[in-house]
Chain A
Amino acid sequence: MAHIIGGYFTSHVPAIGGAIVRGDQQQPYWKPFFDGFPPVREWLAREKPDVAVCFYNDHGLNFFLDKMPTFAVGAAHEYRNEDEGWGLPLFKSFTGHPDLSWHVIEQLVGDEFDVTMCQSMLVDHALSIPFELAYPDAEAWPVKLVPIAINTVQFPLPSARRCLALGRSVHRALQSWQGDEKIVVIGTGGLSHQLDGARAGFVNPEYDRFCMDSLVNAPEAITVDGTVEIVRKAGSQGVEILNWIAARGALGEGGCRETHRNYHIPISNTAAATVLLEPA
């Protein structure tokens, strides 16, 4: 039977990719953020997951505004990155796990989450950067991928409560999967940041702390707010916390232990965080 080893959660801003390319990990500006990763790498090296289920949001690579799914599940054999238009190098491709993807899709639709099913899907920096951070020396990713994209771009966004329930449905799928893989769950994005408008540069450490604390064993507390109120507290792009909430849901309703936390302001315009949760 499949085994969920736990999850890691991290920011994904494109500038991280630039820092990796330049080898700036130990520069004073970047070091406090990159220093959050050795514990994640050590944990992954110890646990050796075979599959990653990753909740993220697309930034105009695979999905344009002509067709914007609220929830989309990848069911492809391979996921490629392509030019996103802002000067990042191309990231490595991922091998898919279509059998598990379809199993997840069956569970989700059975649980009345009417997801978009994608047999062809490009993945952007929001998905690649968390892997670059976790497996910096890998020539090929050591895990197969099941990507789940959440619309955090175009309002109306799915509610935080709905995202938590979606994650919990994914958890049921993983529990009933008959394979013997070890599975890691990943939530990407956030934490508080805002790129647009006269409030650009907004961050909110107090709210971020509330989110990180609640994520461990009281994720419902974050879901009390509607998405507009989350934007108010987290910033226009801080609403990517929805990906973290869904990923926490995929760890199940049981308790978790937070075994590592890193928090640093700023990287680019963002309050950056890295959190590691393991089943209690």
Chain B
Amino acid sequence: MLPTTHNVRDMGAGYMNMATLQEDRLGQPGGRIPGTTLFDGEAARRGYALNAMCYSFNDARNREEFRRDEEGYCRRFGLTLEQLEAVRARDVLAMIAAGGNIYYLAKLAGIFGLNVQDVGAQQTGMSVPAFKQMLLDQGAGQDITEARN
């Protein structure tokens, strides 16, 4: 399910005050997981063409072919209209809503010059520096390096 803009904004706020909003990030046991789409059988079926195209990008020649003729390459894999539009818009949340799996989408994102932190920023509606800072903030005081026992 594609989260609404409102939800995305909530997630951003959640990171700013994590202690009190941890429940917002976890949801309730047995319930829906906030901001998360499980890649289940339904998604795998829906996303098959898009994921198959992304899998083809393991081959550098295919990445080049996509760059050369994006529309034609997408057509060859039989992407659905929803998938085509999501790829055209470089919209990762829309790709996930269309059944894309992030491990495969990451191969496509690489062609667009985006790494997983760029993709994370896009999905959370944050700037890339803000997304990276959010991760750093979560690490404050958490480091452990020790010999044990």
- Is A23 an interface position by the 8 A CB rule? no
Q: In the complex, what's the smallest C-beta–C-beta distance from B107 to chain A, in angstroms?
A: 4
Given contacts A83-B60, A199-B11, A265-B138, contact A65 B93 (CB under 8 A): no
- The B-contacting residues of A in range 49-90, CB under 8 angstroms, are 59-61, 64-66, 82-87
Considering only CB atoms and an 8 Å cut-off, how many residues of chain A contact the other chain? 52
Whether the Cβ atoms of A259 and B148 lie closer than 8 Å is yes
Q: Select the stretch in A110-118, A136-144, A190-198 that faces chain B.
A: A190-198
- Contact between chains at B104 and A232 (CB < 8 Å): no
- Residue-wise, chain B 9-45 has the 8 Å CB interface mask toward A (1 for contact) of 0010001000000000111011001111111110010
| Contact bitstring B120-149, A, C-beta under 8 A = 1, else 0 | 100111000001001110110011111111
Does B90 make an interface contact (CB < 8 A)?
Answer: no
**Given A32-B145, A198-B34, A202-B25, A85 contacting B110 (CB threshold 8 A):** yes
Q: A85-B110, A155-B39, A258-B148 in contact; A198/B116 too (CB < 8 A)? A: no
Does B83 reach chain A (CB closer than 8 Å)?
Answer: no
Minimum C-beta distance from B124 to chain A (A):
6
- Check B142 against A263 for contact (C-beta < 8 Å): yes
Nearest chain B CB to A205 CB, angstrom units: 5
A156–B40 touching, CB < 8 Å: yes
Q: How far is the CB of B83 from chain A (nearest CB, A)?
A: 15
Given A155-B39, A155-B40, A198–B7 Cβ distance below 8 Å? yes
Report whether over half of chain A's contact residues are helix, strand or loop; otherwise say mixed: loop
Spell out B's residues near A (CB within 8 Å): 3, 7-8, 11, 15, 25-27, 29-30, 33-41, 44, 48, 51-52, 54-55, 57-60, 63, 92-93, 96, 101-107, 110, 115-117, 119-120, 123-125, 131, 134-136, 138-139, 142-149
Q: List 26 A-B contacts (CB under 8 A).
A: A35-B145, A60-B58, A64-B55, A65-B44, A66-B52, A82-B58, A86-B106, A86-B107, A155-B40, A198-B8, A198-B125, A199-B25, A199-B34, A200-B35, A202-B25, A228-B38, A236-B38, A262-B145, A263-B143, A263-B144, A264-B139, A264-B145, A265-B136, A265-B143, A268-B116, A269-B117
